[in-house]
Amino acid sequence: AQTVTQSQPEMSVQEAETVTLSCTYDTSESDYYLFWYKQPPSRQMILVIRQEAYKQQNATENRFSVNFQKAAKSFSLKISDSQLGDAAMYFCAYRSLQGAQKLVFGQGTRLTINP
Amino acid sequence: KAGVTQTPRYLIKTRGQQVTLSCSPISGHRSVSWYQQTPGQGLQFLFEYFSETQRNKGNFPGRFSGRQFSNSRSEMNVSTLELGDSALYLCASRETGENTEAFFGQGTRLTVV
């Protein structure tokens, strides 16, 4: 079974600075998807960025980018120019391409933005 | 397009009762999945429905069940509620195909007293 680990329960960053959230996962599969979701106080999970395992190029979405290290099974999220609206719980998630295409989530990292 | 809609947003039930939660997916999305979120266990997969059929099920007791209707709307039911069933229940929908992303609703906060 796949597992996802986020080792940082909480992180904080100054507004306009850069922060990196860590995520590692364990799988024996070669093809899969990885995601970062954001959950603000409204509770709705919002997709931030996704990465297909077969792509070597790291995904980017505006101020959000990932560092995908397939061999190391590492998938970190970098947020540049942090904004107050980035404050939320961030979840790393894995989805297999075979069998149950469910999302396997990490425990989450609570990100605080200091003004 | 309207997003994923979950009703009700909040629910308080008594131990031993049963509850039904509803999820209306984004129009055109045929896959609906349910997740339970608790502070202790985090986010856990309950089940996935596609075209009215349960495609996958997580490791939850038989008290947890669900169904999907022909219009892709889904319901999940929990019978004989226990205090530990108190959680945020999230529904997600996505289009057919492996290269699609899941869109989540705002969840139903269930409190069992």
- The share of chain A scoring above pLDDT 70, in percent, equals 98
Q: Which residues of B are less than 8 Å from A103 in CB distance?
A: 33, 35, 43, 45, 92, 102
Please check whether residue A67 is in contact with residue A80, taking contact to mean a CB–CB distance below 8 angstroms: no
Q: Please indicate whether, in this complex, the C-beta atoms of A105 and B103 are within 8 angstroms of each other.
A: no
How far apart (Å, rounded) are the C-alpha atoms in residues B93 and A92?
18
Distances, alpha carbon A62 to alpha carbons A33, A81, B6, B103, in Å: 20, 10, 30, 20
Q: Do B107 and A103 touch (CB under 8 A)?
A: no
Yes or no, beta carbons of B42 and A106 under 8 Å apart: yes
Q: Is the pLDDT of residue A98 over 90?
A: no
Q: Which tens digit of pLDDT belongs to each residue from B19-35?
A: 999 999 999 999 999 99
